[in-house]
Structure 1
Amino acid sequence: MSDDVAAKAHLLKDILSPPALVAIAKWYGKVDDVSSAQMAAINSKSMTLTCKIVGRSQKDVVITMKPKLASYKDAHDRLFEMKALAQEGLGQVKPPKIRSFRLQPTGIPDGIFIFTLFPYLMFSPPHGGSSLFVPAQLAQSYVDVKYIGMAFAAGVGWHALNTLYTWTLCWKHSIPFGASVAYTGMTMFTGFHTWVDLKKRIREARIEAAKKSQ
């Protein structure tokens, strides 16, 4: 099978500036005292940088791509992301800032399922009452309420852990208080769907900033 990235390597070799390649060599290649670097080769699995070391001769540094690059477009965006992450790690630039909240609706059904269905099953009376309780009573006849409660607690706990992770993302990327509250609150309801979208926004902002600073 052909390697789309290797086939278009000539288009990728010059998209990053020499200082960006130096930062990548230092951060990902763990090579100190790099005075200059250029991309010698790239394919879906790795990138080779030819680096000039201060007071020494040139050295080839191979950086493994994890995960593998899927296409030319993926390689293009990943290189800019690597530039940004390397420069952040070396203290040359700050992480991108997200200023607003964006609703990710894909997790809303999960939230409705956990915070509506489980309480309905748990707190419906075991006998009698409105016909609205019949489905819950049927479920209770097959599954003990305490196990339903345990499943509910596990779901809430998992969402709470996701909420904590979302808060760390908000803190790291200086998201304003109101948007941070919205992100953490929505994560508590929808789970991982919200922080996955937030990380996507952060990645997009990081790539855009890296392109503009070329």
Structure 2
Amino acid sequence: MSDPVADKSGFLRIYMSSHPDTLVAYAKWYGKVTEPIASAEMTAIDSRSMTLTCTMKNGAKKVATVPLEPPLSGYEEVKPRLLQMKAKAQEGLGMIKAPQLSTFKLNTAGTMKAGAAIAVLCYLTFFPRGSTSPFFSPARISHTLIGGDFPLQVAWIALGVIHSLESLYTYSLCRRHRTGLLVGTGYVLSTFVFGFSVWVELRRRIQQMRIDSVMKVE
């Protein structure tokens, strides 16, 4: 089966030849080339990696292989992925500043799903044990089936640990992208309550801002 990216690699190599600064950034950041580079050429690309041939300032040649993780599923993914990689490489090398995020936005669907799951856990944990109300019948049945309070306690502890770690990751993103106190606090607290749906949306917004910043430069 042919590779959808490799089949069109000729055009990509010609196009990227007009962006030598980007290729050098790829080689230094992703290819881990530490020596001074005079120029770089994309000699191959497929859905899993790109190959860069670097000309060093001393005249020597060095080949760097840059993995594409996760692999590209189609040719239409090439441009957005390369733009994301360019922005990340240039940020890491200090060529451009990380984009600043100054607004707060949640993934509504993801947040509602997480909120519903937490509401169910609260319902099962805090229902009045002596109540005979039909409203609490599902909770009483579930409580009996799982063997009492211990599994619920374990679930709350696990949730707290996971969400705490996710909140630390969110804090690192907010600090790196200079969200400010109010927006950053909103993201960190939301992550602690709702979990991964918050930081996934935050990271998606950051990636889009990276692409936008690169497009403005170009």
Q: TM-score, normalized by length of structure 2?
A: 0.87
Secondary structure of the residue that 1:202 maps to in structure 2?
Answer: helix
Query: Which stretch of structure 1 is more off in the superposition, 118-127 or 194-203?
Result: 118-127
Work out which of the residue numbers 13, 17, 36 in structure 2 matches 1:33. 36
Query: Which stretch of structure 1 is more off in the superposition, 16-25 or 55-64?
Result: 55-64
1:206 pairs with 2:192: no
Aligned-partner residue type, residue 133 of structure 1: F
Query: Which stretch of structure 1 is more off in the superposition, 193-202 or 103-112?
Result: 103-112
Distance between the aligned counterparts of 1:91 and 1:117, measured in 2?
Answer: 46
Partner of residue 98, structure 1: 101
* 1:5–1:71 Cα contact (<8 Å) kept: yes
Partner of residue 189, structure 2: 185
Work out which of the residue numbers 102, 121, 125 in structure 2 matches 1:122. 125
How far is the alpha carbon of 1:129 from its aligned partner? 4.9
Taking structure 1 as reference, are residues 23 and 129 closer, same or farther at Cα in structure 2, changes over 3 Å only?
same
Work out which of the residue numbers 173, 176, 199 in structure 1 matches 2:180. 176
Distance between the aligned counterparts of 1:110 and 1:61, measured in 2?
Answer: 42
| Overall identity of the aligned pairs, in % | 38
Secondary structure of the residue that 1:67 maps to in structure 2?
Answer: coil
Partner of residue 80, structure 1: 83
Size of the aligned set, in residue pairs, is 213
Distance between the aligned counterparts of 2:113 and 2:65, measured in 1?
Answer: 45
Query: Which stretch of structure 1 is more off in the superposition, 136-145 or 164-173?
Result: 136-145
Query: Which stretch of structure 1 is more off in the superposition, 122-131 or 19-28?
Result: 122-131
5+ residue gaps in structure 2?
none
Partner of residue 58, structure 2: 55
Aligned-partner residue type, residue 89 of structure 1: G
Work out which of the residue numbers 23, 28, 53 in structure 1 matches 2:25. 23
Secondary structure of the residue that 2:59 maps to in structure 1?
Answer: coil
Q: Report matched runs for 1:107-186 at 5 Å.
A: 107-114=111-118, 116-142=119-145, 143-186=147-190
Distance between the aligned counterparts of 2:154 and 2:66, measured in 1?
Answer: 46
Question: What is the RMSD of the two structures over their aligned residues, measured on CA atoms?
Answer: 2.0
